[in-house]
Structure 1
Amino acid sequence: MNADHARFDELAVGWTLHALEPEDEAQFSRHLAGCARCAETVAETTDVMGSLAAGLPAAEPSDALGERLRAAVASTEQVGPVAVPGPSTAPAVPVPPVPPAAPAPRSRALPLALVAAAVAAVLGLGIWNVGLRSEQAELSATLAEQRDVVDALLTPGRATVATLDDEGGPVATVVAREDRVQVVTYGLPANDAADTTYVLWGLGADAPTPLGPFDVEGSQIAVETVGSEGTGLDGFAQYGISIEPGREAPSEPTEVVATGQVTS
């Protein structure tokens, strides 16, 4: 059943992101009316998109960009309004009601396609933000870096997601699998790699579990893989990040800078 349903799992993600071709959208809409599993996937995709999008920094367009946009509009041929046809006389086709999605367990693992599509969409929004305040050379470099982030997350398997916040808002997203944890950073300050390191912790058990160290080089979006030598890394209800003196993970965190619960 799972193998037969795999295509509809992917269509559910695309349907939520409004990215399906018309034929696929029509087929999935008919299927969704009677499928509680797909209704749940649609709801989970929406939750993940909201969690990841919350971490995007606000961007203010520069005055120079505003001038370039106004100049481009002024030099572009304007197209008049398109006539809208009158109402059709064909009988309306009844659309079956969509059943409400059942609430998903907070610790349920998500299909990889859902995680990858959500991250790709959010990074696309991040690319737009960067484009508002970057020159072309800087934008090209940023696009390449963010494509690398998406490629790094496209690993077969299932994953759980947690957004980590500091006192000012979201600064990272954890994508945890059975044998690997990846941290997407977009708000953590750069650390001095000669004297300090960040450490990712698994929380919610009897004591914090150090999953592995990583460094942050700057404010750009980046992905770091930690804890790839362990198993059961997706079994925590919470995750946290600490900044530590030295270059190794201690037995317990020194200064916790961000925490977050598994939201999907």
Structure 2
Amino acid sequence: MITAELHTLTGAYALHALTEGERADFERHLADCAACAREVTEFTETAARLGLAVSTAPRHGLRARVLRRITDVPQVAPGPPGGVRPGRAARWSRRISRWGLAACLAASAALGGVAVWQYDRAESARADAGRAQREAEEVAAVLAAPDARSRTVRLADGATGTVVVSTGRDRAVFLAARMAKPPGGKVYQLWFDDHGTMRDAGLMDPHLASQAVLLRGAVDGASGVGVTVEPAGGSATPGSDPLAVLPLPA
């Protein structure tokens, strides 16, 4: 998908209307496009406001008053069903009225629930976009830092891994290229090698062959960065030998 097309997907992304492939392409683009990130945030906020617009809370006690009055106020229907004697028409009318009002109240409650759900989804999307933008900015800051140093290692099947460290910012970025997709239910996990002790540094996206990952936490004197294959969601400690350990650049 070309960049010009990606710029047109901000609204569909905010409304969760993209396919999985389109979403992955757009999120890669979003990491480097401040204009699209801002537009996604604006669309998300608008969706939230529209959702809240249909969920105005009723006045206190309204439900109780309505339920009390429908038992006392007779309603006259246009005509009773066939076979209903006139003496029963008022009772039939009140029954229909109660059912109709109950249905209206149920529909109102359902609409309110949908509005809350829409608002929650919009808030979640906005938070995700905000996190993605902040992480992209931090990745760019590390890569552009005057003291940035890098080291590249060739991995299996023609893949490469590069670790970039900024001593001044005390942060590191892992750049993966042509990484094979991990086995089903597995994920690549990154670790800081604290001179023999592995410290969790975050997960890679299992759907992306090439990506830039801001390592979780400070470098804090680590000697290298390791990559392991772990169950989806990651592990507290490495469950396998590292595929590679990249020494941090001097």
Q: What is the TM-score normalised by the length of structure 2?
A: 0.39
Instruction: Compare the two structures and name the one with the higher helix fraction.
Output: 2
Give TM-score, length-normalised by structure 1.
0.37
Higher relative contact order, structure no. (Cα contacts within 8 Å, ≥ 6 residues apart): 1
